[in-house]
Amino acid sequence: MPLVVNLMALVMLIALCVIMIYGSTLARKGRVVYIRRIPGLDAIEEAVSSAVEAGRPVYYPEGAAGFGDAWTGGKMAALSLINYTAGICAEKGCKLLGGTISSPYIPLMDDAMRQAYTAHGRPELHDISDIRWFPGQMAYIAGTDTIFRYEKPAVQIMIGSWWAEALSFCEIGARSGAIQIGGTDYRPYMPYFIAICDYALIGEEIFIASAYVSKDLSVRITVLIEDIYKWIMIGFTVIGAILVISGYRQILGWFSL
Amino acid sequence: MTFLTDPAVRYWGGVITSWSSLASTTATFVGTIVLLKYHLPRIKNKSEKPIKHQWFYSLLTMSIMAVFVVTGLIYGMTSSTYQWLYQSWYSPITGLLNAVSAFFAVSAIYRAFRIRTLESAMLVIPALIILLYDSPLGAGMLSIFPGMTQLAEYIFTYTGPSAFRGFILACACGTMILSIRTIFGKEKGFLPAEEASVPTG
Amino acid sequence: MSEPKTIWEKMQSVPSVYLQAILLLTIVVPLLTMVSFPSAPTTPTKRYYDFVMSLPEGSVVIFDSQMGGFNYGDCAPGCAATMRLVLSAPNKLKLIVLFESSDGPMFWDIMKKDFGVGLPPGKKYGDDYVELLWYTGGERGVAAFCSNFRSIFPEDRYGTPADKLPAMKNVLSAKDFGVVIASTSLTSLVDDYMRQAYARYGTPLLFDPAGMTVMSVIPYYPFAVKGYLLGLSGGAQLEAMLGSTSLGTKMGNAFSMMSLYSFVLAIIGIVTGYMVKRGRR
């Protein structure tokens, strides 16, 4: 039996680590990375302004995906964006409501919001009771319907790791006329946000957005690292496709996991 | 463990994997403590925030949680008592709320399906074909028209998955980068404010 | 907002409650009657069936059920039809059922009762069919039982040690699985099996994904995933292929009517949207 298996995956992991080291070097040299505008992210500021004019709160439910498994990335990206949104709400003097079904997530969300409101000198606008906990995916839908009925948020921002509740949330928001900005890395439910929301972040844009709002250069440089890595994968895909079409099917054995 | 075949590495990898599945279950206890911290003060103070009669809903939540926990501990989760509780209370409500999304989907379809541009036509027309292909009767109806079943299967097997493979690669990249950012301490969004401001190099 | 004037504007502003009331009828009527709608099994369903039938004699089929209260409708027909298929296959397959969550065994029992599924004559619990308990930890749990099956499942659901169950005798890791079939509404479970069973051990996979989860399965089809059932619809198709009619057929009929209604509604929505836009020009 060979000493190492899944060789290709190991090679790609090492390649990623090498690219990350290169990226860190660029960050230390102060290299500025241009990240294109993400319309959904820009829309947050406009949407919060309209919420302030209407005198209604902003609602940021984070997705029902589990905390501590493959969807943790999306939830962490959501935390950065909650912090960003809370900063804009604090600046404009608007309340931000949160929602989650993951109880360990409540203190993280509370801290992200509190930090932003305190930094803008408006700590009185935030209270932990602004973060609503729901016992399950379906209770989340029912509870959000209640929030829209009693508190009537003007804006609903749903950027995180969303599952099947996405459609119901989009529909509840659309019926009440709220401005909706959504995005998920969970691919089966991306189409709901694209079809129903006013602005949608597609797939990995939620990770790019969390890097975009970070002021840390080394975080922004990871976007460049990701692009380099993707180009390498595209290169392998094109070369592999050409070779396989030409009849060199042995290449499949090299790239098999 | 994923890459090395050494028996010792595999053995300890298996042990650690078993431990980590235990560790993930203990996160449930963290959740329970957070819930108690959230709801008990509201019950004690008869709070009317954030919604009217909040204290009553908090009391209801805590009572139902206590009933399930005590029943599970005394009788066991595979006992008929616990199963009756679960099947009579939890499953019908969950199923009901899941079914609600079908009704939402119908009004979303009526409102959202519009052909305004070439791009939206390219989205809507395959969606309509797949809507029929997805059901037994619809698949039977499609088979009446020559080539339609093959078109639906082509969309389902080639065009749709091709786009999703792109999404899979991109989202996997994003998740990997975010994970590595977290491991190296660059991602600070989840840290408390005091720790987030400490530079990590 | 101004009052709708033309017929098209009136149609566009029909209150949702009327549309939903008609939807309720399209779902309830087929469930109360047993109508035979013409149906054609799709290629993935045929491949699912063919792959099970082509397994070597005596192969072990691992069935991971993630069926719960919220996805029972989508997963149950596929679970019932698969259980019938595996236990009645001429290649003497052994079916081992495990669960992704603690309510799995409960819903499995409900499914067997609702769909009238049981052990066919000549099959014995322990020799041909075993029900295990649930595993925890998501992907970590899948990784653990793929590398050491007995460490996660030392006994069956009823407390019988694995050594005393002939069906589990030679099942030590994913290398001993003939195929893994997962009935799930979680994309993460699809990825978990791809990474832990297929990528590491080359175990072939079949899926019974519910609803939108099928989009997560399709990219791996037909290479790693040899076939799949398209949710409720696929389960009803497989049931029809097996020549049986039960609750799965009725549910398939209800789903067909719902899909047809959604199709008609979409066409009406497109036409009214176009006519309203043309009227405003």
Q: Could you state, in order of their start, the residue ranges of all structural domains in chain C?
A: 43-254
- Mean of per-residue pLDDT scores for chain C: 89
Number of neighbours of residue A99 by Cβ within 10 angstroms: 23
Q: Report which listed range, A4-18, A176-190, B26-40, is most confident.
A: A176-190
For the domain made up of A39-212, give the CATH fold. Answer: Rossmann fold (3.40.50)
> Which sign does the torsion angle of CA A195, B109, B103, C82 carry?
negative
Long-range contacts of B108-112 (CB under 8 A, 24+ apart): B108/A167, B108/A170, B108/A171, B108/A174, B108/A192, B108/A195, B108/A196, B109/C262, B109/C265, B109/C266, B109/C269, B110/C14, B110/C16, B110/C19, B110/C265, B110/C266, B110/C268, B110/C269, B111/A174, B111/C269, B112/A195, B112/A196
Residue of C nearest to A139 (CA): C70
Extract the tokens encoding C151. Answer: 């460490």
Q: What is the pLDDT of residue B199?
A: 43
Which of A111, A87, A119 lies closest to B190 in space, CA to CA?
A111
A46 vs A118: CA distance, rounded Å: 22
C13 interfacial to chain B (CB closer than 8 Å): no
Output the CA–CA distances (angstroms, integers) from residue B126 to A67, B112, B153, C199, C231, in the order listed. Answer: 35, 15, 11, 32, 19
Cα B16 to its chain centre, rounded Å, is 26
Closest residue to B20, CB basis, from C137, C262, C274: C137
C247-277 pLDDT tens trace: 888 888 898 899 999 999 999 988 988 888 8
Closest CA–CA distance from residue C156 to any residue of chain B (Å): 13
Extract the tokens encoding C91. Answer: 């290649």
Pick one of 3.30.1380, 3.30.70, 3.40.50, 1.20.58 as the CATH number of C43-254: 3.40.50
C216 interfacial to chain B (CB closer than 8 Å): yes
Output the CA–CA distances (angstroms, integers) from residue C63 to A82, A99, C21, C118, C181, in the order listed. Answer: 40, 35, 38, 15, 5
Would you give the end-to-end CA distance of chain B in angstroms? 30
SS3 C180: strand
- Outline where C4-161 has alpha helix (H): 7-12, 16-32, 43-53, 72-88, 104-115, 139-147, 149-152
Closest residue to C69, CB basis, from B95, B116, B165: B95
Output the CA–CA distances (angstroms, integers) from residue C116 to A35, A124, C106, C123, in the order listed. Answer: 58, 60, 15, 16
Q: In terms of residues, how long is chain C?
A: 281
**Which residues of chain B have a CB within 8 Å of the CB of C152?**
18
Element (H, E) at C258: helix C247-280
Closest CA–CA distance from residue A80 to any residue of chain B (Å): 5
Cβ proximity of C222 and C205 under 8 Å: no
Average pLDDT of span C192-219: 88
C267 interfacial to chain B (CB closer than 8 Å): yes
B124 interfacial to chain C (CB closer than 8 Å): yes
Q: What is the pLDDT of residue B187?
A: 66
Interface test with C, best of B84, B137, B151, B179 (most C CBs within 10 A): B137
Q: What is the pLDDT of residue C132?
A: 95
Closest residue to C151, CB basis, from B18, B140, B161: B18
B78-112 pLDDT tens trace: 788 888 888 788 878 877 777 777 888 888 888 87
Q: What is the pLDDT of residue B188?
A: 64
Whether the per-residue pLDDT at A137 is higher than 90: the answer is no
Number of neighbours of residue B92 by Cβ within 10 angstroms: 11
C184 interfacial to chain A (CB closer than 8 Å): no
Q: How confident is the model at residue A257 (pLDDT cuts 50, 70, 90)?
A: very low
Average pLDDT of span A32-49: 88
Percent of chain A residues past pLDDT 70, beyond the cut: 93
A241 vs C221: CA distance, rounded Å: 18
Where does CATH 3.40.50.720 sit in chain A?
Answer: 39-212
Of A136-150, A208-222, C182-196, the one with minimum mean pLDDT is: A208-222
Window 137-176 of C, Cβ < 8 Å to A: 138-139
Closest residue to B112, CB basis, from A77, A196, A230: A196
CA count, 13 A, side-chain hemisphere, B35: 23
Closest CA–CA distance from residue A46 to any residue of chain B (Å): 23
Closest CA–CA distance from residue A60 to any residue of chain C (Å): 24
Residue of C nearest to B14 (CA): C144
Widest Cα–Cα separation across chain B = 70
Q: How confident is the model at residue B54 (pLDDT cuts 50, 70, 90)?
A: confident
Interface test with A, best of B49, B106, B134, B176 (most A CBs within 10 A): B176
Whether the per-residue pLDDT at B29 is higher than 80: the answer is no
Q: What is the pLDDT of residue B112?
A: 75
Please name the chains neighbouring A, where neighbouring means 3+ C-beta pairs under 8 angstroms.
Answer: B, C
Q: What is the pLDDT of residue B192?
A: 55
Of A227-241, B95-109, C72-86, the one with minimum mean pLDDT is: B95-109
Closest CA–CA distance from residue A104 to any residue of chain B (Å): 5
Residue of A nearest to B24 (CA): A68
Of A44-48, C14-18, C73-77, C276-280, the one with minimum mean pLDDT is: C276-280
Closest CA–CA distance from residue A249 to any residue of chain C (Å): 15
Output the CA–CA distances (angstroms, integers) from residue B38 to A66, A118, B24, C225, in the order listed. Answer: 20, 22, 22, 45
Whether the per-residue pLDDT at A203 is higher than 90: the answer is no
SS3 A253: helix
- Mean of per-residue pLDDT scores for chain B: 79
SS3 A96: strand
Closest CA–CA distance from residue B191 to any residue of chain A (Å): 7
Yes or no, beta carbons of A69 and C200 under 8 Å apart: no
Extract the tokens encoding B200. Answer: 């990590």
Q: How confident is the model at residue B195 (pLDDT cuts 50, 70, 90)?
A: low
Whether the per-residue pLDDT at B201 is higher than 50: the answer is no
Average pLDDT of span C28-53: 86
- Nearest-Å Rg of the Cα atoms of chain A is 21
Where residue C138 falls (left for φ over 0; alpha for ψ -120 to 50; beta otherwise) is left
Cβ proximity of A197 and A63 under 8 Å: no
Closest CA–CA distance from residue B121 to any residue of chain A (Å): 13
- Nearest-Å Rg of the Cα atoms of chain C is 22
Cβ proximity of A62 and A77 under 8 Å: no
A138 interfacial to chain C (CB closer than 8 Å): yes
Whether the per-residue pLDDT at B200 is higher than 50: the answer is no
Write the DSSP string, C44-75.
HHHHHHHHHHTSPTT-EEEEEE---TTTHHHH
Number of neighbours of residue A123 by Cβ within 10 angstroms: 14
Percent of chain B residues past pLDDT 70, beyond the cut: 87
Cα–Cα–Cα angle for B195, A77, A183, rounded to 5 degrees: 160
Window 57-96 of A, Cβ < 8 Å to C: 66, 69-71
Cβ proximity of B38 and A133 under 8 Å: yes
C82/A239: higher pLDDT? C82
Q: What is the pLDDT of residue C119?
A: 92
B22 vs B26: CA distance, rounded Å: 7
Yes or no, beta carbons of B139 and C257 under 8 Å apart: no
Element (H, E) at A248: none
C76 vs C59: CA distance, rounded Å: 24
Cβ proximity of A134 and A140 under 8 Å: yes
Average pLDDT of span A202-209: 86
B131 interfacial to chain C (CB closer than 8 Å): yes
Q: What is the pLDDT of residue C264?
A: 92
C214 vs A64: CA distance, rounded Å: 19
CA count, 13 A, side-chain hemisphere, C185: 22
Q: Report which listed range, A6-10, A61-65, B21-25, is most confident.
A: A61-65
List CB contacts of A235: < 8 A, sequence separation 6 or more: none
Q: Which residue has the tokens 């949207």?
A: C273
Q: What is the pLDDT of residue A76?
A: 84
Output the CA–CA distances (angstroms, integers) from residue C191 to A180, C142, C188, C195, in the order listed. Answer: 30, 11, 5, 6
Cβ proximity of A186 and B164 under 8 Å: no
Closest residue to B186, CB basis, from A77, A216, A230: A216
Please report the number of interchain residue pairs, chain B to chain C, with beta-carbon separation below 8 angstroms. 179
Extract the tokens encoding C235. Answer: 């389960």
Q: Which residue has the tokens 């949104």?
A: A85
Percent of chain A residues past pLDDT 90, beyond the cut: 30
Q: What is the pLDDT of residue A96?
A: 96
Please report the number of interchain residue pairs, chain A to chain B, with beta-carbon separation below 8 angstroms. 165
Closest residue to A150, CB basis, from B31, B51, B98: B51
Q: How confident is the model at residue A9 (pLDDT cuts 50, 70, 90)?
A: confident
Interface test with A, best of B100, B175, B182, B194 (most A CBs within 10 A): B175
Yes or no, beta carbons of A204 and B174 under 8 Å apart: yes
